[in-house]
Structure 1
């Protein structure tokens, strides 16, 4: 639905903003940038599965949402050479440079099959701006000056990519 709107209005890029979370007992922190492609690793795949379950908003069973993720993985395997993956990777690299240069701790740039990025006709990224399950990062994410810093870094990245 979101990518359909971006396509309809001929958006130059698509950016989906999120805050990350981990189950009790696991800790992580940092800004993460994802593109729609075969998963980089097991953790990236697991995050996509969890996000995809939430996106279905209870409309699908866990099994059905997981099946859709597996189907998406098969489709992605067939389109690995797709130009949008290359463009999205370039966009992610520019965002990485801009966020890092503003002093934002970038945990990684990775690939995963996120539903929200499916169907984008433009370079598309999903940004996990931090872990709300990490108390120090949750506090930082609620700070207005840090929010401004994040917004500025993301805007700079978009502007830089589009030049």
Structure 2
């Protein structure tokens, strides 16, 4: 598949640019993208009725105009982040419709172990990640790859251009920081 990725990127560069390369890659990565969409939808649904395929296509529509991605891993990680943001935007809209229900604080370990049934919990996790981004943006990238995209440590390192050992350290640091932050 990596060879297909490189060929598609090359075709996009000769055609109309990054959008062409993204269009060519969708069929190659569709099943992986659908699995990510399903996982995100089930994890962050909070009563959401958005279908897996609809989430995938909405994320694709947001990614299509983006510039080319240097690797398959970075494309999939960006897709996972985009899907999470779509779901969070929808949860925010639902909560706004309910007259501003407050966000519940929940630990990262707890969030990883169950399906989020409450939109406010989704926002609690999201808000904690935004605070972590202000402290160390790379830690958030590691969390996005490991937690949201479901990447292994090796895949995360490849997607972010860092060593597997650095991923292990960053993952441990991020989890500890988020656990402390969300336990307040």
Q: Same fold (TM over 0.5)?
A: no
* Higher RCO, 1 vs 2 (CA within 8 Å, ≥6 residues apart): 1
The structure with the largest strand share of the pair is: 1
Normalised to the residue count of structure 1, the TM-score between the two structures is 0.34
The structure with the largest helix share of the pair is: 2
Normalised to the residue count of structure 2, the TM-score between the two structures is 0.31
Larger radius of gyration: 2
